[in-house]
Structure 1
Amino acid sequence: MGKLFTDEQIAQANQINILEYARQAGYTVEKITPKEYKIPNYGGLRINGIGSKWNSFTDKAGGGPIQFVMYMEKKSWVEAVKELLGISETQNSYLYRVPRDIEKEKEEKGEFVLPEKNSTYKHVFGYLINTRKIDKDIVVSMVKEKKLYENTHRSCVFVGYDQEGTARYASVRSTNTKGSSYRGDVANSDKAFAFNIAGSSNTIRVFEAPIDALSYATFLKHFDSENKDHMLALGCLGDVALKRYLKEQPEINQIIFCLDNDQWGREALNRWIEDYKPDYSLAYHFPKGKDWNEDLVSFFKEMEQRRDGQEFEEEAEM
């Protein structure tokens, strides 16, 4: 049997920064000292300051990036390497003989249950509209489509559905603006059914997070653009949701990647250009700041400053 991964690929997976991966995956990462970080509620899990090693005191587990993904996401060794490299299940260009005492069978997922709804939407509305500056009508439309609601912890819940209209995925984003803030997927979510805004054109715009997709939609509306494009929030930097969406929407022939403006977003773009260019017209649009919501908040802040400045000048001329 040949190799499933080259030595270079394995080395690349082991060089992934655990801290950055954890943040991108939606885990809460807290700094303890410059040399140590932690992920709360995971058995005393600690990560060293350069993101190369981790350990869990409670479970007596630890290792590098591959073992981190195996531990946190209940993946086999092969699945963890594929996750770190961004390789889909169909990309078996290489074969690697994995020792049987390392490779474990993927644990069967439990039942997916949406978080309990709150009796109000005021915290979600306040956070998304006032703090994140997302257009009110866009937020309301997501609520009406049951793709967004507030849970009993006053957090945003973004929901993804399958073709039968059954909820299969949900991500939670805290509405806290001070102190600790939580974000992450609901247990047993299927990332293949990530949050999306349905469209009617032959183009899909791809984002990392739901708030970025909603922020981009706000920009389009503000500039009087009648957006008909499909908009998909991967919930990570894996493309399983994109592959499923494209399969279900065969009319799509153009992909515009609107990822975060950082190392991880650019590396993912480079991978996906190679993967999708044989079959699709490709383009990309990076924000000026780190992500699209950062750009949106900055945009409205600048608008307010200009308006205040203009009002000051008008008063001075009177």
Structure 2
Amino acid sequence: MIDKMYNSGKRFIRYSAEELENARKVDMVDFLERHAGFNFKRAGNYSIGREHDSIVIDPDRYTWHWYSQDLYGKGAIDWLMKVDGYRFEEAAEILIGNKPLNNTNSARDSPRQNTAQQARQNDVPVPFSPPAAMKEQCRELFAYLGKTRCLSDDVIRYCVSNKLIYQDDKKRVIFCGYDRAGKMRFAEAKITNTYKKYYPQNIAGSNKAYSFFVPALPTARHYDPSQLYVFEAPIDLLSHGTLMQLAMKKQCAAAGDMSLYRPDCWLGFNRLSLSGLSEKALEQRLKDDPRITKIALCLDNDDKGQAAALRIKQKLESKYTVKIVKPPYGKDWNETLQAITNREMNMALKATSKPLKK
């Protein structure tokens, strides 16, 4: 550790990679028992909070979830930042430098952080406050969703114009969810930085029952409000819509008449993101819309996703027509979209680079 004080009065602290790695690997059960006074009970290989049974520590004793607050993290640094409101530098100083928790002047001292912290300690909902929107053009949003994620421009613009997504002042893509009265009740942030992998973050106070949802449009081609397609993440939902557009373009090209193409073809039925594998949003949607009779579970093609799909299918198939639809390529629907987009791009490049026949 390097700890220097400059003549200006500013302090510089730098930790080694080994020190940071040790801080990240802190046993979460021991940490929370010491840090927050929580007690835990065993449930199989998992540890569940006695005071707050929505706090669950995975068998690795490193990954944690606070389900009632829609919080998730890996290690003590994530807990100090997401739950207590410390900055990364402060969290590291607490874990590595043994800085007392109650002596650190941090962001948690703001009125909003105090309210959130008190609500979490009492295990009650945190007040929801959507992130401020970027006032300038949303270049990062279009670049990330269009170029990196391969979503169609029509799909992105439809969502932006209908206030389903926007770019906040931190240059994150915000996916919005609304209740029946049209009030925003949910927001999920996705960082547009492509250099590092970041997990999507549910904004504090979000109600997962009103997760990201794109309703069927009455004027769309093959409008059928009885159908609901369910995904794990908003980007998978929009990727599926883009894939439907690509499929119709191919059909029109094969028929020799591109005038038949309808950009709104993807809006013929309802699409819902669970923002993970929680069933809250699905239960709320079925309660709000009795027209839904057919459900397609388009969850990730991995062990957790398919186990959840099977569980939901068995739960609902007595009342609804339920089918499980797996992405054809890769783990999820965005990986499928990227695979198809890149393959077609490579085919186009090969076709245009062929020499002319003599």
TM-score by structure 1 length? 0.71
| Map of 1:130 onto structure 2 | 147
Q: Deviations over 1:271-296 (max 9, x none)?
A: 11110011000111111211110111
| Map of 1:299 onto structure 2 | 340
3-state SS in 2 of match to 1:187: coil
3-state SS in 2 of match to 1:271: helix
Query: Residue 77 in 1 paired to residue 57 in 2?
Result: no
Unaligned runs of 5+ in 2: 1-16, 58-63, 68-119, 217-223, 249-261
Equivalent pair of 2:29/2:47 in contact (CA under 8 Å): no
3-state SS in 1 of match to 2:146: helix
> What letter is aligned with 1:77?
D
Query: Residue 310 in 1 paired to residue 351 in 2?
Result: yes
**C-alpha distance in 2 between matches for 1:257 and 1:215:** 15
Q: Deviations over 1:146-191 (max 9, x none)?
A: 1100011111000000011110000000001113535210001000
| Map of 2:321 onto structure 1 | 281
Cα separation, partners in 2 of 1:222 and 1:208, compared to 1, 3 Å: same
TM-superposed deviation, 1:110? 2.4
| Map of 1:217 onto structure 2 | 241
**C-alpha distance in 1 between matches for 2:351 and 2:125:** 58
> What letter is aligned with 2:352?
E
| Map of 1:156 onto structure 2 | 173
| Map of 2:232 onto structure 1 | 208
> What letter is aligned with 1:296?
L
3-state SS in 2 of match to 1:173: strand
**C-alpha distance in 2 between matches for 1:289 and 1:53:** 35
TM-superposed deviation, 1:80? 5.4
Q: Percent of counterpart pairs with the same letter? A: 25
Point out which structure has higher relative CO (alpha carbons under 8 A, 6+ apart).
1
**C-alpha distance in 1 between matches for 2:30 and 2:334:** 31
Query: Residue 46 in 1 paired to residue 28 in 2?
Result: no
Query: Residue 268 in 1 paired to residue 268 in 2?
Result: no
3-state SS in 1 of match to 2:346: helix
Structure 1 or 2: more helix by fraction: 2
3-state SS in 2 of match to 1:156: strand
Equivalent pair of 1:203/1:253 in contact (CA under 8 Å): yes
| RMSD of Structure 2 on Structure 1 (CA) | 3.3
Query: Which structure 2 residues correspond to residues 135-284 of structure 1 after superposition, within 5 A?
Result: 135-199=152-216, 200-224=224-248, 226-227=265-266, 228-284=268-324
| Map of 1:10 onto structure 2 | none
**C-alpha distance in 2 between matches for 1:148 and 1:57:** 39
Equivalent pair of 2:212/2:273 in contact (CA under 8 Å): yes
Cα separation, partners in 2 of 1:55 and 1:316, compared to 1, 3 Å: farther
Bigger Rg, which one: 2
**C-alpha distance in 1 between matches for 2:290 and 2:213:** 16
What is the number of equivalent residue pairs in this alignment? 253
Cα separation, partners in 2 of 1:37 and 1:239, compared to 1, 3 Å: farther
Runs ≥4 residues deviating over 6 A: 60-65
Cα separation, partners in 2 of 1:110 and 1:220, compared to 1, 3 Å: same
3-state SS in 1 of match to 2:35: coil
Cα separation, partners in 2 of 1:300 and 1:253, compared to 1, 3 Å: same
| Map of 2:105 onto structure 1 | none
**C-alpha distance in 2 between matches for 1:128 and 1:213:** 12
TM-superposed deviation, 1:37? 7.2
TM-superposed deviation, 1:239? 0.7
Q: Deviations over 1:173-222 (max 9, x none)?
A: 00011135352100010000000110142110000000000000000111
Equivalent pair of 1:202/1:252 in contact (CA under 8 Å): yes
Unaligned runs of 5+ in 1: 1-31, 39-43, 87-103
Cα separation, partners in 2 of 1:178 and 1:202, compared to 1, 3 Å: same
